[in-house]
Chains A and B, each alone.
Chain A
Amino acid sequence: QKEVEQNSGPLSVPEGAIASLNCTYSDRGSQSFFWYRQYSGKSPELIMFIYSNGDKEDGRFTAQLNKASQYVSLLIRDSQPSDSATYLCAVKQPDNAGNMLTFGGGTRLMVKP
């Protein structure tokens, strides 16, 4: 059973702090990793993707991938109340040629003013 695990939260951080969201996956052969943000009552939207070990930065967001330890994380610097949402980790499975993603259950982030 291929699994993607996330702490459901809520993760509460004060405005301006760094929010750290973590995700672990079970299939060592997984290739690509995605972070989606889902506001309450809305559909998921892609924030970042990463496929190489190390860090990838985009504005206030940094994705970190460690394939040896099978985890991927998302850091949000200078957190804003508008960042309050559920963050979904998704992993592309390696055992077929298609765009099969397995999603984690999501971490709810609350940024308090």
Chain B
Amino acid sequence: ETGVTQTPRHLVMGMTNKKSLKCEQHLGHNAMYWYKQSAKKPLELMFVYSLEERVENNSVPSRFSPECPNSSHLFLHLHTLQPEDSALYLCASSQDWTGTNEKLFFGSGTQLSVL
């Protein structure tokens, strides 16, 4: 248990559905991240929030919409996804965004399948 909890663990959705992924961290960290892990591709950073402010948007399509209501919670709202968006979505947190050697703590991920 890393202190970062993600729900749901698995999600199957159609291309016209709207769903949300939830992440909660119990570590008192100030930075939270969304990563995408596709088969046979490296982990890709999607979004970063530091103290509830978005500091990085890594050219992610607008069908992915993040929300960070407070420093402990992070959401990823999904709508009109494509089959190629099927992947493991990982939430992570770190103590701060601007530290020297900030360690990432990952949640267990949401395995998303888009039909």
Task: Show the binding face of A for B, using Cβ within 8 Å.
Answer: 4, 8, 32, 34, 36, 42-46, 49, 51, 88, 90, 92, 97-106
Contacts and interface: CB of A to CB of B under 8 A. Distances in A.
Interface of B: 2, 31, 40-45, 48, 50, 55-56, 90, 94, 96-109
Contacts of B2: 43, 45
Contact of A4 (B42, B90, B99, B101): B42
B112 to A, nearest CB: 15
Nearest to A99: B102
B104 A46 contact: yes
Nearest to A8: B40
Interface residues of chain B: helix, strand, loop or mixed (majority): loop
Most chain B CB inside 10 Å of its own CB: which residue of A43, A44, A97: A43
22 contacts: A32-B100, A32-B101, A43-B90, A43-B106, A43-B108, A44-B43, A44-B90, A44-B106, A45-B2, A45-B106, A46-B104, A49-B103, A51-B100, A90-B43, A98-B48, A98-B50, A98-B56, A99-B31, A99-B48, A99-B94, A99-B98, A101-B104
